[in-house]
Amino acid sequence: MKKKSSKVKYRRILLKLSGEVLGNKETGDCIDPGNLAFMAERIKKIHALGVQVGIVLGGGNIFRGLAGSERGVNRITGDSMGMLATVINALAMMNALESIGVDTRVMTAIEMPKLAEPFIQRRALRHLEKGRVVIFGGGTGNPYFSTDTAAALKASEIGADVLLKATKVDGIYSADPKKDPNAKKYGALKYETAIEKRLKVMDSAAFALCMDNSIPIIVFDFFNPRALEGVVKGDDIGTVVS
C-alpha cells in the first residue's frame, strides 16, 4: 500500500475527465494516442506521490445519449450507447496507464465480466488501498444520469477527499470565456451558488450530491501540464466549489 505523501493535500481523489479531451477534432480520431499518453503521464505523476486515484471518463467523444435523442435515437437506448462508450474509454485509459507501469483496474456499473470487474464498493476500496488506479466505467448504470453525476456518486462511494473536474479551461467562468471576453472567473463558489446559477460545468445533480456528502469540487485545466499535480498539493489552481 502506498503511504501518504506529506507533499499532497488530497490523499484520495476522483478525477473526472470528459470524453472530448480524449479525441482530436483535427484528425477525426475519437481517441487520440497523444492525448491519451499525455493524460496517463499526468496521472502517473500524482500516483507516484502516493495519491489514491479513481477516474470517471465521459463518452462524448464516441456517443452522447442526449445529443442522440435530439436526432431521433430513443433516449434510453442512446444513454445505454453512451454508457458503453465510457467503457471503451476506460479500457483505452487502462491500457495507456499499464503501458507506463501503473497498476490499473476497470470496474463497471453494468456487468461485463469478460472486460472488467463489476463495481463492488469494498473491492474498489481495496484496489485503491493497494495502490491501484481504479477507472469506473458505465456511468451510473442507469439512463438519464450524466457521467458528472456518476463521478459525484463514485466520489461519495469511495470516500474521496475531492472531486477533480478536468476541462479545457482553467476554472469556472460566468460565461464562456472563448465567446465572451468579459467573462469573470470564479476563484471559489458555494455549492448553492453553482446550483442557483445553473453553471454548465457540471449538472445540478452532481453539485447536489457532492454538497450532501461534503466533497469539494475543483475545476481546472487538465492541459496545463502542472495543474493536476498542483491541485493535489493544494496549490491555488482553478475554481473550488465547496
pLDDT tens digits for range 128-173: 999 999 999 999 999 999 999 999 999 999 999 999 999 888 999 9
The pTM assigned to this predicted structure is 0.93
Lowest mean pLDDT, pick from 4-13, 81-90, 94-103, 225-234: 4-13
Q: Which three cell numbers stand for residue 58?
A: 465521459
User: Residue 13: what residue type?
Assistant: I
Q: Directed axis angle between helix 147-158 and helix 204-212, to 10°?
A: 10
Q: Are 182 and 165 in contact (CB under 8 A)?
A: no
Q: Which three cell numbers stand for residue 126?
A: 481495496
Burial code (b: 16+ CB inside 10 Å, e: under 16) for 13-45 equals bbbbbbbbbbbeeeeeebbbeebbebbbebbbe
Q: Helices marked H in 59-146 — which ranges?
A: 65-69, 75-98, 121-129
Return all residues near 36 (Cβ < 8 A) that are at least 6 apart: 22, 92, 93, 96
101 Cα distance to chain centroid: 21
Nearest C-alpha neighbor of 106 from the set 96, 58, 93, 198: 93
> Could you state, in order of their start, the residue ranges of all structural domains in the chain?
12-241
Q: How far apart are the first and last CA of the chain?
A: 29
pLDDT band per the 50, 70, 90 thresholds, residue 6: low
* Residue 29 pLDDT greater than 80, yes or no: yes
Give the tens place of pLDDT for each residue, 32-80.
999 999 999 999 999 999 999 999 999 989 987 777 777 888 999 999 9
How far apart CA 109 and CA 215 sit, in angstroms, is 21
Give the percent of the chain with pLDDT over 70: 98
* Fold for the domain defined by 12-241: Carbamate kinase (3.40.1160)
Bigger pLDDT: 2 vs 175: 175
Q: Which three cell numbers stand for residue 83?
A: 454508457
Nearest C-alpha neighbor of 166 from the set 93, 115, 100, 110: 93
Catalogue the long-range contacts made by 150-154 (C-beta closer than 8 Å, 24 or more residues apart): 150/56, 150/109, 151/14, 151/16, 151/56, 151/206, 152/202, 152/205, 152/206, 152/207, 152/209, 152/210, 152/215, 153/209, 154/14, 154/54, 154/56
Residue 163 CB coordination number (10 Å): 28
* Residue 200 pLDDT greater than 80, yes or no: no
How far apart CA 132 and CA 48 sit, in angstroms, is 11
Q: Are 229 and 46 in contact (CB under 8 A)?
A: yes
